[in-house]
Structure 1
Amino acid sequence: MKVHHLRSATFIIESGEHFILIDPMLGKKGSMPPFSVFRFKAEKNPTVDLPANADQLLDKVTHCIITHSQTFGFKPLQHGDHLDPAGETFLRQRNIPVITPAKDKAYLEKYGMTVSHGVAPWQTVAIAGGKVTAVPSQHGHGWIHKVMANGAGFLIELEGEPSIFVSGDTVLTDEIRRALTELKPDYAVLAAGQAQMDVGQPLLMAKSEMMEFIGLAPGKVIANHMEALNHCPVDRRALRTLVAEQGVADKVLIPEDGETLSLS
């Protein structure tokens, strides 16, 4: 199995003839508005372009998993860092089958995407000769997670391959702990940017939660969701320093945009 990290939360899992795209934010640099205006620099998103190898990899995509997209069904509140207009166009034009949380199924279909499965919490469905299981997530602490409309993480188990748990946008909850300790993924993908809006608590795990997540993970952790969005203050350098100080640097992979990881 290979993981091709493109940008932020967007990556591709390669297994044989199957290429599974996760959370397609495919637009050009600056194609979306800032997600924070006061708390952080009001820079348009994404703040970086896709890597040079993105088009070649995207041409091979056979399936897609979207961890979350809609908020109250209101298009201007769509989570563009997990499905932006360019990502929508890509999925529509190529008729890529999508797996997504059950609550988002009708919304994506309304905008022309082909949803093969809307998955309920802890439900398992088939994909690419294997299976995926949805894990409930909580997109922030306090009241803001209700406004953000929670999505799901996904455990992906493909035949003959290591299992991989994609956390999605979440803080650390008992459900996430259960996914790590009971489902025992070989690899776990951690959204590590500690995103924050102009109001409310962080939407992703704080540093202490990330350290607990890494400690609970039975295998290695792949950190993403950094250095592409203006509301994510934790960057790769800060995370490398943190995991080194905590003595877990050998357990954490922090890919650069365009980097390919070979998992075994």
Structure 2
Amino acid sequence: MLIKTFAGALVLASTVFTGAAFAEPGTQASSHQIQQIRNATIKVSYGETTFLIDPMLADQGAYPGFQNTYRSELRNPRVGLPITAEEVIEGTDAVIVTHTHLDHWDDAAQKLLPKDLPLFVQNAADAEMIRLQGFKDVRILDGQAEFGGVTLHKTGGQHGSDTLYAIPELAKALGEIMGVVFEAEGQETTYVVGDTVWRDEVVQSLERFEPDVVVLNAGAAEFTGFEGDPIIMGKEDTLRVNRALPDADIVAVHMEAVNHMTLSREDLAEFVENEGIARQVLIPADGEILSF
């Protein structure tokens, strides 16, 4: 469970949305930490091993908004990094790219990350793309893998509803994604669900691994013309995860930093408060470190 002395500051910061209680790396007693960087970019640490997941490292406003999506006139990322990109990369032992959309693997990350860092991807197509970008140690996560004393399990999902995937152009744009479950001796199991909607694959992963911590991409992003049919999870899915695993800590990320997110931190905080699950749902500010 989340260290209680830090949970109070986190709940206050998340609920009133006045800023984060920042923790300096290395100051927490626990060896299992999750740091929210920005968007879907997080760092997951178990003991001496740290994974950087879905790095989007560009400066604020570096890219145009995603075409044919909600608020596409806004430029991405909508906010700056809370620390320098170099500080984000510092201490990283391996990178995990759940899929290669710009908001999970951008030009800045490709330029700044050391080319010899071990890098896990979901399939051969993504591996080939990233190798062509100059990375020398690209590994396909097929089933499970061991790294630095941590077992990684690949999980499934779908980046939108069956209705969206029935449209060839949208299916191509959305593509394939993966999630990852982290297990390590003496540590709580963490499930990074990835860019998926609520599906059987997610339910099966929750039932199989019974994770103590579930990281949800919860911004409910949408295409124009498909309002109410988000391509990632949202507030109702947060409640579904809580009902499936009432004792798990849910960490909500991937909100506000790119144009097509329709759910804000403030709105999610209000929702979980009204549902009586605010203690189970953690909504970290950019840069914030959670210790478990």
1:1-264 residue pairs with structure 2 within 5 A?
A: 1-36=32-67, 39-40=70-71, 42-52=73-83, 55-69=86-100, 79-91=101-113, 93-103=114-124, 104-120=126-142, 123-145=143-165, 146-147=171-172, 148-200=174-226, 201-217=229-245, 218-263=247-292
Equivalent pairs, count: 251
Q: CA offset at residue 62 of structure 1?
A: 1.1
Q: Is the 8 A contact 1:24 1:82 kept in 2?
A: yes
Distance 1:111 1:199 in 2: 34
Q: CA offset at residue 38 of structure 1?
A: 6.5
Return closer, same or farther for 1:131/1:189 CA change in 2, 3 Å cut-off: same
Q: Is the 8 A contact 1:172 1:213 kept in 2?
A: no
Distance 1:216 1:38 in 2: 31
**What do the CA deviations read for 1:14-46 (whole angstroms, capped 9, x no partner)?**
233322100000010011110256732611100
Q: Is the 8 A contact 1:63 1:96 kept in 2?
A: yes
Q: Kindly, what percent of the aligned residue pairs are identical?
A: 31
Q: Is the 8 A contact 1:53 1:258 kept in 2?
A: no
In the alignment, structure 2 segments of 5+ residues that lack a partner are 1-31, 166-170
Q: CA offset at residue 53 of structure 1?
A: 6.0
The TM-score, its normalising length taken from structure 2, stands at 0.81
In the alignment, structure 1 segments of 5+ residues that lack a partner are 70-78
Q: Is the 8 A contact 2:57 2:106 kept in 1?
A: yes
Which structure ranks higher in relative contact order (CA pairs < 8 Å, sequence separation ≥ 6)? Answer: 2
Secondary structure of the residue that 1:250 maps to in structure 2? coil
Return closer, same or farther for 1:115/1:213 CA change in 2, 3 Å cut-off: farther
Distance 1:197 1:210 in 2: 21
What amino acid does structure 2 have at the position aligned with 1:190?
Answer: L
What amino acid does structure 1 have at the position aligned with 2:164?
Answer: I
Return closer, same or farther for 1:33/1:210 CA change in 2, 3 Å cut-off: same
Q: Is the 8 A contact 1:108 1:115 kept in 2?
A: no
Q: Is the 8 A contact 1:36 1:196 kept in 2?
A: no
Q: CA offset at residue 258 of structure 1?
A: 0.7
Secondary structure of the residue that 1:196 maps to in structure 2? coil
Q: Is the 8 A contact 2:216 2:250 kept in 1?
A: yes
Q: CA offset at residue 143 of structure 1?
A: 4.3
